[in-house]
Amino acid sequence: MALVSGLIAFMALIICRKRQEEYFELHCGYSKAFQDSDEEKMHYQNGHVSFPEARFYIDPHTYEDPCQAVHEFAREIEASRIKIEKIIGSGEFGEVCYGRMRLPGKRDVPVALKTLKVGYTEKQRRDFLSEASIMAQFDHPNVIRLEGVVTRSKPVMIITEYMENGSLDSFLRRHDGQFTIIQLVGILRGIASGMTYLSDLGYVHRDLAARNILVNSNLVCKVSDFGLSRVLEDDPDAAYTTTGGKIPIRWTAPEAIAYRKFSSSSDVWSYGVVMWEVMSYGERPYWNLTNRDVIKSVEEGYRLPAPMGCPAALHTLMLDCWQKERSERPRFCQIVTVLDKLIRNPENLKSMDTLCSPLMNRSIPDFTTCRSVNDWLDTIKMGRYKSHFASGGYHTLGHVMSMNQHDIQKLGVTLMGHQKKIMTSVQVMRAQVLNQSVPSVHV
Ligand code: AMP
């Protein structure tokens, strides 16, 4: 009897657990595999969390001692396992270096090492390590991965995977015009996927911008920069607002600027600006407008125009991210779906027709004011081809206006993106000079 009732109790337990798993799979939208690994991690992370529904990001500042959080979430690595090779950048708290890490029984891997400069205060140490406590909670291919921390010897370090191509904004500027639209959409898709993951965890980034995305050698983009104080101290693009906070104005949603309402929806607004940065190969959003003018223009309903050669479908998505009403903006998972559809049906990326939303005047420069071929090339940021045009015998704008795509190729402009940029502006200039309506392309 005891054996039979024991067996029944055991089976009941198994059935209950299975039901519970199915429930969470259905209601949380997570796959089983995802749940299992998460559950395991949560047990490891803080012994008292036992259900996957509790899979939310934990703010290390909720710990009495945030240094305790870092040891709970991140693994300590012995300094002897790290070899620093060169300095690659500078962060808020000290230098960022490239190095190699060798763990027992594994081959050495390239890593990025963020160091805490000597003479730090206790608060700086805490703020520095809080980024590691945050990063350690994430595990996604489009979010920078933490390898561990060095806290028991000096310099104190945060060790992350190494991203060969550095930050996305400078990477795009170095490769202006060199990617296909599909490659650019792939970049955007990766960032949206990383942000879907973070927003599902309840993490609000607040400083999503191309400068805070890192690119590896396979062109995979990963969201980075998770320090708690970073928006306040670290970001050179952050400015003080009338409400006293320091905010990267050009990337931030109006409600976050006005009354600090930061949310995943305000991250979506910033994502729209990142889309614009990507499609314009690292152009500065709102160009040289002052922060005050940016706030005013956006408030009045003006929005950034489609960068030159940007498919209308992508600009429409940007405009959706910049809806004034935050509840009307898409969610990150919806953005991923839209981008996936575009990747599957690239013919939808062919249309360049602009939309009827109020766009900023800057969208089409007035080429009739250009005084020379060189002046015009500078205006469209193609100054590097001045000698090509000169040696091809194109000394006047009149002559340039007669060019076709083949002529541009013959000059030795090999990059498709650059050919398109030049050809589009030739067409626009022609229309402006003839006083016709400008073709539906924004420059
Ligand atoms: P941060 O303090 O995170 O803004 O880093 C400063 C700079 O260091 C960045 O702009 C990058 O150029 C570089 N950097 C930071 N993390 C990495 C990484 N994981 N891989 C490669 N470069 C990095």
pLDDT the model gives residue 281? 95
Choice among 32-36, 319-323, 349-353, 379-383 with the minimum mean pLDDT: 32-36
Per-residue pLDDT at 154: 93
Cβ–Cβ under 8 Å, residues 147 and 103: no
pLDDT for 245: 61
State residue 424's pLDDT score.
Answer: 80
Show the CA angle centred on residue 65, arms to residues 63 and 69, nearest 5°: 60
Same-domain check for residues 196 and 339: yes
Lowest mean pLDDT segment, chosen from 74-88, 316-330, 355-369, 383-397: 355-369
What pLDDT score does 364 carry?
63
- Name the domain count of the chain: 3
Looking at residue 421, its pLDDT comes to 82
Measuring CA to CA, how many Å separate 347 from each of 182, 283, 313, 340? Answer: 11, 26, 11, 13
Identify the residue whose tokens are 């970049």.
187
In a domain, 22, yes or no: no
158-172, 318-332, 335-349, 394-408: range with lowest mean pLDDT: 394-408
What distance in angstroms lies between residue 96's CA and the mean position of ligand 1's atoms? Answer: 6
Judge if 188 and 314 occupy the same domain: yes
| Backbone torsions φ then ψ of 345, nearest 5 degrees | -125, 75
Question: In the prediction, which pLDDT does 147 show?
Answer: 97
Catalytic one among 176, 207, 237, 267? 207
Residue 73 in contact with ligand 1 by CB distance below 6 A: no
Averaged pLDDT for residues 396-421 = 89
CA 90 / ligand 1 centre spacing (Å): 8
Task: CATH number of the domain at 399, please.
Answer: 1.10.150.50
Average pLDDT over residues 262-290: 96
Between the CA of 18 and the centroid of ligand 1 the distance, in Å, is 44
Same domain, yes or no: 199 and 329: yes
Q: Which of 161, 184, 208 finishes a domain?
A: 161
Residues 163 and 154 sit within 8 Å (Cβ to Cβ) = no
Q: CB 350: neighbour CB atoms within 10 A?
A: 10
Shared domain check, 356 and 284: yes
Residue 228 lies in a domain: yes
Give the count of alpha carbons within 13 A of 94, CB side only.
21
Phi, psi of 433 (to 5 degrees): -65, -40
Pocket mutation for ligand 1, best pick of 167, 207, 229, 234 (most atoms within 8 Å of C-beta) = 167
The residue-averaged pLDDT of 206-225 equals 97
Q: Which of 149, 335, 135, 359 is nearest to 226 (CA)?
A: 135
Q: Give Cα separations from 32 to 18, 23, 251 (angstroms).
A: 11, 11, 36
Per residue in 11-26, pLDDT (tens digit) is 765 654 554 444 333 3
Residues 99 and 156 in one domain: yes
Q: Is 25 within the bounds of a domain?
A: no
Confidence at 280, pLDDT banded by 50, 70, 90: very high
The Cα–Cα gap between 443 and 385 comes to 18
Instruction: Judge whether 53 lies within some domain.
Output: no
Residue 88 has pLDDT above 50, yes or no: yes
Query: What pLDDT shows up at residue 197?
Result: 97
Looking up residue 116, the CATH number of its domain turns out to be 3.30.200.20
336 burial via Cβ count (<10 Å: 0-12, 13-18, 19+)? buried
Among 42-51, 74-83, 291-300, 363-372, the minimum mean pLDDT is found in: 42-51
Would you say residue 350 lies in a domain?
yes
Q: Are residues 233 and 157 in the same domain?
A: no
- 294 with 210, same domain: the answer is yes
pLDDT above 90: residue 384: yes
What average pLDDT does range 376-394 have in this prediction? 93
**To test the ligand 1 pocket, which listed residue (96, 127, 165) has its Cβ within 8 A of the most ligand atoms?**
96
Report which residue type is found at 102. R
- In this structure, the answer to whether residues 83 and 130 fall within a common structural domain is yes
**For the segment 110-136, what is each residue's pLDDT rounded down to a tens digit?**
999 999 999 999 888 998 999 999 999
233 found inside a domain: yes
320-362 confidence digits (pLDDT tens): 999 999 999 999 999 999 999 999 999 999 877 554 445 554 4
Residue 207 falls in the annotated catalytic set: yes
- Arithmetic mean of pLDDT over the chain: 84
**Within a domain: residue 16?**
no
Domain shared by 354 and 372, yes or no:
no
Cross-strand bridge partners of residue 112: 98, 160
Q: pLDDT (tens digit, 9 = 90+) per residue, 223-269?
A: 999 976 555 455 667 766 555 567 899 999 999 999 889 999 999 99
Q: What is the reported pLDDT for 299? A: 94
Q: What residue numbers bound the domain in which 118 lies?
A: 60-161
pLDDT of 304 over the 90 cut: yes
* Domain boundary pick from 161, 180, 206: 161
Whether the predicted pLDDT of 2 surpasses 50: yes
Tell me the torsion sign for CA atoms 430, 432, 434, 436.
positive
Domain end call among 301, 336, 360: 360
Q: Judge if 338 and 212 occupy the same domain.
A: yes
271 plus 206 within the same structural domain: yes
Residues 176, 286 within the same domain: yes
Query: What is residue 236's predicted lDDT score, i.e. its pLDDT?
Result: 67
Which residue has the CA at smallest separation from atom 21 of ligand 1?
Answer: 163
CATH of the domain at 345: 1.10.510.10
Predicted confidence at residue 352, as pLDDT, reads 72
19 in a domain, yes or no? no
pTM of the model: 0.76
pLDDT at 242: 54
8-state DSSP, 304: P
